[in-house]
Structure 1
C-alpha cells in the first residue's frame, strides 16, 4: 500500500514539475539575433518572442527577402535589375514590382523635395569615387558635363516600364535601405512578432516596444567622435540618420568631401549641417528625407517639416549643425536626452 502511495505521489510531483516548467518556458521571452551583409551594410536584427510562438524559419525568411531585394536594387551588382537598367543598350526596360515601387517612390520624393533627393545623381557620385573607392576631386568641366545627365524629371516610368535617356543612370541608395527595413517589418508582423529592433547601418527600425513594455534607447551618433551625442527613447518607428561623417575622403587640399551630393552643383552638399536624423513610421520615407533635408539646409528643412504634417508624410527631425546647434522638432523634445559632455551645444526647438 505504501509503495503504491509513493508511486502515486512521484507521478503527481513529476506532473506538477513538468506543468510548471512548461508554463515557465512558454512565458519566457527569448532573444533571437542574426545578421547579414548586404548593400555594403551590416544588417542585423534582434527579435523578442516566446519560444512556443517563434517561427523556426523566420531568420531564413528575412535573409531570403533581403537577398531578393539586393539582387534587384544594387547599383554595383552586375546581376541586379538596376545595374541592367543603367547599362542596357535598350533604354526602355520592364521592371519587377519591387523595383518599380522603389523607383516610383524615389521619383515622387524627388518631386516633393524639388530635386533635393536626386535619384539620377549616380554618374556624378561615381566620378567622385564614392561607389568605387577610387576617390578624386573631379574638375569643374567634368562635373558640368555630367550634370547634363542629372534630372529626375527626364525619367519616364509607366506602370512597370522605365525609360532613361542615353547617358542617364539611377541610384536608389537613398531609399533602398529604408525599403528593405520596411519589408523586414512586414515579415515580422506577418509572423506575429511584436517586439524587434532592426539595424541597417544609419537606419534603425523598431517594432513595438521592448519585451517589458519599455521604450527603446537609441543612441544618436556625434558627428565629431565615435560616441553618442544623445539618446532617443522611442518605439514602433524608423530612425534614420545621414551625416557628413559617414562616407567621406580627405582631398589633396586637406578638405573633407562627403558622399551626399547636391544634384544642382554636383558637389558635396554644404549647408553647414553635420547630420540629419528623421523619425517616422516608414523607413523609406526616413531614408529619403535624411538625404533631402541634408541637401536643403536648416531653413528649407524646417519649412518642409512645417508643410508636411499629414499622416502619410508626417515626420520629426533633429538637425545638428557645424556651429554646435541642435534643431529638434517639438514632438521629439521629451524623447531626447543630450549627453552631459555635449552641453555646450545649443538646443533650438522647432515649432509650427
Structure 2
C-alpha cells in the first residue's frame, strides 16, 4: 500500500499559479522586482508573491496571520481549539476564539446548505482513513460504520453570545480542512491590502487569491492543475482580476492498495471517497472561504447537478473536469478560460 503526501511537492496536486506574464512583463512595465516567500502551513505548500515596492515584512505579516489561524484550528497540530472541543464532546461547552467560531459558523452554514455532503464534523472518518499521513489505511466496513455514525453537523452546538462550542456526543470531532484554508487566504489578502499592496498572488495549496491586475494592467493568468498529473502540469488557464480560484480534486492526496486509489474527498453518507465521474472542480468567485466550503458539495453533486447549483449563486463560476478529460465551464468563464492541453476537450455547456 502506498500513500501520497504533498508536503514537499510545491504546486503539485494544487492549482498551479502560472505567472504567464512572467518576469518579462515585470521588467517591461515596472522597475520593481517581485518578492516571494514559501512556507509549509495548513498541511500544504503556501506561497505569497508581491509585485509592489514593499519590504519582506509585508509577506511576513500575512504568514504570521496564517500561522495564528493554523495554531487554532489545524488538524495537523495538537493542542488546538478543535482538540479541546473533541476532548469535551458530549460533556461540556468550550470557549473558542473569534476566528474559530467564525469558521465554525460558516462551516455549519455550508454543511446545512449541502444537506451534509460537506460536513465539518467528518473528523472521525478523516482520522480513520488517514489519507495523506503515514497512517493511511483502507478501513473495514465495521470501522467505517462506527465512525460514520459520529458524523452529523446538526449535533454541533454553537453559542453565539459566548463563543462557546460543543459536540453533542463523545467521540465526535471537527475537521476544518475543507474551509480553514479559504479563511486563511482571505485573511492574508486582507493583511496585504491593509499594507498597501496593489498586485499580489496568494497560493495556499489549492486556494488562490489574486489582488487587482498584474503590474502591466492586465488580468492575471492562472493555470489550472491537470488532475491526472503529479508534476504541476496545467490543463488550462484562466484570466482573472480580484478573484479567488479554489480547486478540489481526486489527485491531491490519496492512498493506493491492491492497485486501487482512494482519494481524500470523503463522502459523509457512505464513509468512502466520493465516487462519480469528476476528477476536479474549480470555483471562481470573490471570497475564498465560501468557495473552499462549496467545492466539496459541488464535487459531490457531479457535473449536471453541480452546474445547476452553481448557476443559482450570483458571482460564482466553475470548471468541471471529468475522468474522461471532458471540461465543462459556466457561462461567466466563456471568454477568460482556455484549454491548453490537447488531451482535454472543452464541451458545449450543460
Residue aligning to 1:47: 50
| Aligned counterparts of 1:36 and 1:85: Cα–Cα separation in 2 | 28
| Aligned counterparts of 1:340 and 1:43: Cα–Cα separation in 2 | 26
- How high is the TM-score relative to the length of structure 1? 0.85
Structure with bigger gyration radius? 1
Tell me how many residue pairs correspond in the alignment: 315
| Aligned counterparts of 1:83 and 1:130: Cα–Cα separation in 2 | 19
| Aligned counterparts of 1:119 and 1:241: Cα–Cα separation in 2 | 18
Q: Deviations over 1:234-254 (max 9, x none)?
A: 1111001110011001112x1
| Aligned counterparts of 1:137 and 1:329: Cα–Cα separation in 2 | 36
Residue aligning to 1:18: none
Check if 1:332 corresponds to 2:337.
no
Residue aligning to 1:251: 257
Residue aligning to 1:78: 78
**What SS class does the counterpart of residue 184 from structure 2 fall into?**
helix
| Aligned counterparts of 2:40 and 2:341: Cα–Cα separation in 1 | 34
| Aligned counterparts of 1:63 and 1:135: Cα–Cα separation in 2 | 29
- Compare 261-270 and 86-95 and name the one that shifted more: 86-95
Q: How does 1:61-76 map to 2 (within 5 A)?
A: 61-76=61-76
Selected match of 2:202 from 191, 198, 204: 198
**What SS class does the counterpart of residue 307 from structure 2 fall into?**
helix
Query: Structure 1 pair 137/340, CA: closer, same or farther in 2 (3 Å)?
Result: closer
Selected match of 2:35 from 32, 49, 52: 32
Q: Shift of the alpha carbon at 1:340?
A: 4.5
- Compare 138-147 and 327-336 and name the one that shifted more: 138-147
Selected match of 2:302 from 297, 302, 308: 297
Asked whether the equivalents of residues 88 and 166 of structure 2 are also in contact (C-alpha less than 8 Å), the reply is: no
| Aligned counterparts of 2:157 and 2:75: Cα–Cα separation in 1 | 19
Asked whether the equivalents of residues 29 and 211 of structure 1 are also in contact (C-alpha less than 8 Å), the reply is: no
| Aligned counterparts of 1:98 and 1:305: Cα–Cα separation in 2 | 27
Q: Shift of the alpha carbon at 1:200?
A: 0.8
- How high is the TM-score relative to the length of structure 2? 0.86
Residue aligning to 1:142: 143
Asked whether the equivalents of residues 129 and 135 of structure 1 are also in contact (C-alpha less than 8 Å), the reply is: yes
**What SS class does the counterpart of residue 180 from structure 2 fall into?**
helix
Check if 1:224 corresponds to 2:228.
yes
Q: Shift of the alpha carbon at 1:39?
A: 1.6
Q: Which segments of structure 1 move beyond 4 Å, counting only runs of 4 or more?
A: none
Greater fraction helix: 1
Asked whether the equivalents of residues 260 and 295 of structure 1 are also in contact (C-alpha less than 8 Å), the reply is: no
Check if 1:285 corresponds to 2:290.
yes
Q: Shift of the alpha carbon at 1:131?
A: 5.9
Aligned-residue CA RMSD in angstroms?
A: 1.6
**What SS class does the counterpart of residue 214 from structure 1 fall into?**
coil
Q: Deviations over 1:32-71 (max 9, x none)?
A: 2112211221211111113xxx356312311221111111
Q: How does 1:1-352 map to 2 (within 5 A)?
A: 28-50=31-53, 54=54, 57-88=57-88, 90-130=91-131, 132-159=133-160, 160-165=163-168, 166-225=170-229, 226=231, 227-252=233-258, 254-309=259-314, 314-343=315-344, 345-350=345-350
Asked whether the equivalents of residues 158 and 165 of structure 2 are also in contact (C-alpha less than 8 Å), the reply is: yes
**What SS class does the counterpart of residue 64 from structure 1 fall into?**
helix
| Aligned counterparts of 1:231 and 1:91: Cα–Cα separation in 2 | 49
- Structure 1: state its 5+ residue gaps: 1-26
Query: Structure 1 pair 319/117, CA: closer, same or farther in 2 (3 Å)?
Result: same
Residue aligning to 1:9: none
| Aligned counterparts of 1:47 and 1:119: Cα–Cα separation in 2 | 33
